[in-house]
Structure 1
Amino acid sequence: MTSPKGVAIGNLGRFRIATGGSPKGVAIGNSRRFRIATGESPKGVAIGNLGRFRIATGGSPKGVAIGNSRRFRIE
């Protein structure tokens, strides 16, 4: 897990990063509320919330990919 040009934070109690790296963006996963379903976030932010959000896209190369499992679904 590397963070050469961005932020990658993992906390065993609250956070879990499911991505391998966050080269130019922010990748944050919360084991209780957030889960990142994308493999990487090279130039943006990829955040998923197990309660409300789910990211169904493979990556967020130049922006933000957020999906709401109850209202929205990103293919």
Structure 2
Amino acid sequence: MPPRRDAQPFTAEEIAALVSQQMVAVLPGVVTQINELYNNNNNAQCNFKSFNSAKPLKFSGLQGATALLQWFES
């Protein structure tokens, strides 16, 4: 026989409080990361010319998922 749950389920207010506590803890770090990413003036943009200058391996799509992963990592 499975064990019984003696704990009462969370109320909507308790869940909202837990979510808000976690959001308060996490959001400052997320905002900092986004600001650092977009305010950095040294962002190198990826375009077709810079992509081709890296001389990527040819990928035809016939080799399957493993070859695609190897292509991404090269």
Which of the pair is proportionally richer in strand?
1
TM-score by length of 2: 0.19
Higher-helix-fraction structure:
2
Higher RCO (C-alpha 8 Å, min separation 6):
1
- Give the structure with higher Rg (CA): 2
TM-score by length of 1: 0.19
